[in-house]
């Protein structure tokens, strides 16, 4: 099978022909149809992601495909089932072996491309806004990086939860995509004073931040008393430092959200969240925004789209070509 394989954190990944593995106990063999790319793939390439696997490994965190083989002890699945899987790696390939507990049946109406773009982006925003921040109807939600893979889903879900959504993104084209996703107010991160613009709108009750750096600092200073700030990621490359005395003065709460971590300590929250999100998809309330669908041979180009911030929503690799 062909796979985008990483053998060194000092060298780029390369396409490699690898033997197809045989599923062990509790695993499935999956013929992969599509793989969603994530910023975490870029971090893994340099060894900077919190869950970077041991070298060598195949990139690609989330996939959709068809079950081909069941390992011993697997129940509830059968060859031919269409499933989405968060594997953590191994997705930019023609075939993969994954833990069966991570496989979720796709709704009949869902395409492999949508399924591969769905789990991390929607799952992150749903748990972050609902479980962690307890976003309430009528509150104001500020989304930084609002046209990105997770940011755009935060705009959608925030609106579904009854919030007033302020979308912050770079440039009019990305802001227009956020507006189409339901944003009530738009802030251009390239030209606008984020702090002043948010304060002019009354301040933020919840901040959803996948960017970090100076944007986090500006949003922090535009919060209402008792606001909650969600630290989702650091696409800017700058991890903000928070002064505890500033938290105290406004009674602010800063909380982190790593979606994949729930698999290890509270998987029922994650699976329950996905079940609700799949229902929303079937009802037509949400649909992934995919700016690029590329064949397997152009997977490296897809990763570069993320690195250069030229994509909106998700980039998906379609397999086979």
Cα–Cα distance measured from residue 307 to residue 304, given in angstroms and rounded to the nearest whole number: 5
Cα–Cα distance measured from residue 82 to residue 30, given in angstroms and rounded to the nearest whole number: 9
As a whole-number percent, the residues of the chain with pLDDT over 90 amount to 95
Q: Which pLDDT tens digit goes with each residue over 236-254?
A: 889 999 989 989 999 999 9
Q: Confidence class of residue 36 from pLDDT cuts 50, 70 and 90?
A: very high
Q: Which pLDDT tens digit goes with each residue over 180-202?
A: 999 999 999 999 999 999 999 99
Torsion-angle region of 284 (φ positive above 0: left; ψ -120 to 50: alpha; else: beta): left
Looking only at the bridges linking them, the beta strands covering 95-99 and 140-144 are unpaired
Cα–Cα distance measured from residue 302 to residue 298, given in angstroms and rounded to the nearest whole number: 7
Identify the CA nearest to 18 among candidates 29, 30, 4: 4
According to the model, what pLDDT value does residue 211 have?
Answer: 96
Mean pLDDT across the stretch 73-84? Answer: 97
Looking only at the bridges linking them, the beta strands covering 2-6 and 57-58 are antiparallel
Q: Which pLDDT tens digit goes with each residue over 80-124?
A: 999 999 999 999 999 999 999 999 999 999 999 999 999 999 999
Q: Confidence class of residue 271 from pLDDT cuts 50, 70 and 90?
A: confident
Q: How far is CA 103 from CA 81, 172, 318, in A?
A: 10, 38, 19
According to the model, what pLDDT value does residue 321 have?
Answer: 61
Q: Is the pLDDT of residue 275 over 70?
A: yes
What's the mean pLDDT when you consider all of the chain? 96
Q: Is the pLDDT of residue 56 over 80?
A: yes
Q: Which pLDDT tens digit goes with each residue over 205-238?
A: 999 999 999 999 999 999 999 999 999 999 888 9
Cα–Cα distance measured from residue 166 to residue 315, given in angstroms and rounded to the nearest whole number: 24
132 secondary structure, DSSP code: I
According to the model, what pLDDT value does residue 315 have?
Answer: 98
Q: Is the pLDDT of residue 159 over 70?
A: yes
According to the model, what pLDDT value does residue 279 have?
Answer: 94
Cα–Cα distance measured from residue 71 to residue 27, given in angstroms and rounded to the nearest whole number: 5
What DSSP string runs through 172-185?
Answer: HHHHHHHHHTT-SE
Predicted structure pTM score: 0.93
Q: Are 227 and 205 in contact (CB under 8 A)?
A: yes
According to the model, what pLDDT value does residue 34 have?
Answer: 98
Looking only at the bridges linking them, the beta strands covering 62-70 and 27-36 are antiparallel
């Amino acid at each position: 099978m062909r796979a985008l394989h990483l053998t060194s954190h000092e060298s780029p990944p390369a396409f490699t022909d690898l033997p197809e593995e045989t599923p062990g106990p509790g695993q499935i063999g999956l013929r992969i149809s599509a793989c969603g790319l994530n910023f975490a793939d870029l971090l893994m390439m340099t060894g900077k992601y919190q869950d970077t696997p041991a070298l060598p490994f195949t990139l690609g965190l989330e996939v959709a495909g068809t079950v081909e083989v069941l390992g011993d002890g697997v129940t509830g699945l059968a060859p031919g089932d269409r499933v989405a899987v968060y594997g953590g790696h191994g997705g930019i390939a023609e075939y993969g072996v994954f833990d069966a507990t991570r496989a979720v049946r796709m709704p009949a109406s869902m395409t492999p491309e949508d399924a591969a773009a769905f789990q991390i982006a929607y799952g992150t925003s749903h748990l972050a806004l609902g479980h962690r921040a307890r976003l309430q109807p009528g509150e104001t939600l500020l989304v930084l990086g609002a046209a990105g893979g997770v940011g755009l889903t935060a705009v959608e879900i925030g609106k579904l939860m009854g919030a007033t959504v302020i979308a912050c993104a770079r440039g009019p084209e990305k802001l227009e995509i956020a507006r189409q996703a339901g944003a009530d107010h738009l802030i251009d991160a390239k030209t606008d004073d984020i702090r002043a613009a948010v304060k002019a709108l009354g301040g933020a009750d919840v901040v959803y931040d996948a960017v970090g750096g100076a944007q986090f600092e500006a949003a922090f200073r535009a919060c209402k008393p008792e606001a909650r700030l969600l630290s989702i990621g650091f696409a800017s490359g700058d991890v903000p430092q928070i002064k505890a005395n500033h938290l105290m003065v406004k009674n602010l709460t800063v909380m982190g959200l790593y979606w994949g971590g729930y698999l290890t300590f509270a998987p029922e929250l994650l699976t329950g969240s996905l079940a609700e999100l799949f229902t929303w998809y079937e009802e037509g309330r949400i649909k992934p925004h995919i700016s690029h669908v590329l064949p397997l041979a152009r997977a490296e180009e897809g990763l570069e789209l993320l690195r250069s911030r030229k994509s909106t929503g998700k980039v998906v690799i379609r397999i086979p070509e």
